[in-house]
Structure 1
């Protein structure tokens, strides 16, 4: 059986503000329907098969409570620079000194690219206007069995 992650419901306080933020990142607007609490917008990052769905009545989660979302990029420095150029506050690039994942533990973060620029281990972070937390992760070579 094939299964694909199609969309993630993102808790936001203001659909219009959130939609404008993601459109400013170059994301495609797929739908924008309804009004007031029933309004729903769906946007998709470039080349992604997974979208985000924005709406105040889609989830009981508080706006800004979704953390750890990850966007994979093939050049983290270029992606970070493009986002900064689009007005987004993005952290400096970091990696983990202990060989683990620095996402859950900010104290384990080391400034700069991962040694030898190893795939999966260089990150940058940003938040949307509601505080939902995102990571950029550099992947240039996929682990075996993973599709690009």
Structure 2
């Protein structure tokens, strides 16, 4: 089994499509019209896509999905790329005491993780509806995890 896509609830599928295209994501499908329209977008080098959907396909409120993760080789470079595309992206941070970030921005410490430890440096941004994304720097994968 492989994770194929995650549903990302949005208020305006066309606006969301434009935003994700501005990030350099690939459009895989644009189906339907009006409230039944769905758009599938895939980040560069990802096997999993985001399915942008309105209320026809989900009862999740637009902007209600938080904690979507994008693995990157270099969080500073990825952050700079997003900022250069006009995205309001946080500064790079790590979680106080190590680990993953807490909800609501609690316990964020500015800068890269100590020793730039793989998995522990982050940046975050929201799409126009408020769906929340993290960039997570991964330089060395956990055993058994592939990285291409």
- TM-score grouping bracket, smaller chain normalisation: over 0.9
The yes-or-no answer on 1:20 pairing with 2:15 is no
SS of the residue corresponding to residue 119 of structure 1 reads coil
SS of the residue corresponding to residue 125 of structure 1 reads strand
Question: Aligned equivalents of 2:105 and 2:14: distance in 1?
Answer: 31
Note the C-alpha offset of 1:96: 1.6
Cα distance per residue 1:62-87 (max 9 Å; x no partner): 00000000000000000000000000
Whether the 8 Å CA contact 1:68–1:103 is kept in 2: the answer is no
Question: Aligned equivalents of 1:97 and 1:81: distance in 2?
Answer: 23
How many residue pairs get matched? Answer: 146
Whether the 8 Å CA contact 1:12–1:54 is kept in 2: the answer is yes
Specify the alignment match of 2:126 in structure 1.
127
Note the C-alpha offset of 1:105: 5.8
Q: Which runs of 5+ in 1 are unaligned?
A: none
Query: So what's the TM-score if we normalise by structure 2?
Result: 0.95
Query: So what's the TM-score if we normalise by structure 1?
Result: 0.95
Specify the alignment match of 1:52 in structure 2.
50
**RMSD between aligned residues:** 1.0
Question: Aligned equivalents of 1:147 and 1:103: distance in 2?
Answer: 26
Question: Aligned equivalents of 2:71 and 2:5: distance in 1?
Answer: 16
Specify the alignment match of 2:115 in structure 1.
116
Specify the alignment match of 2:34 in structure 1.
36
Specify the alignment match of 1:67 in structure 2.
66
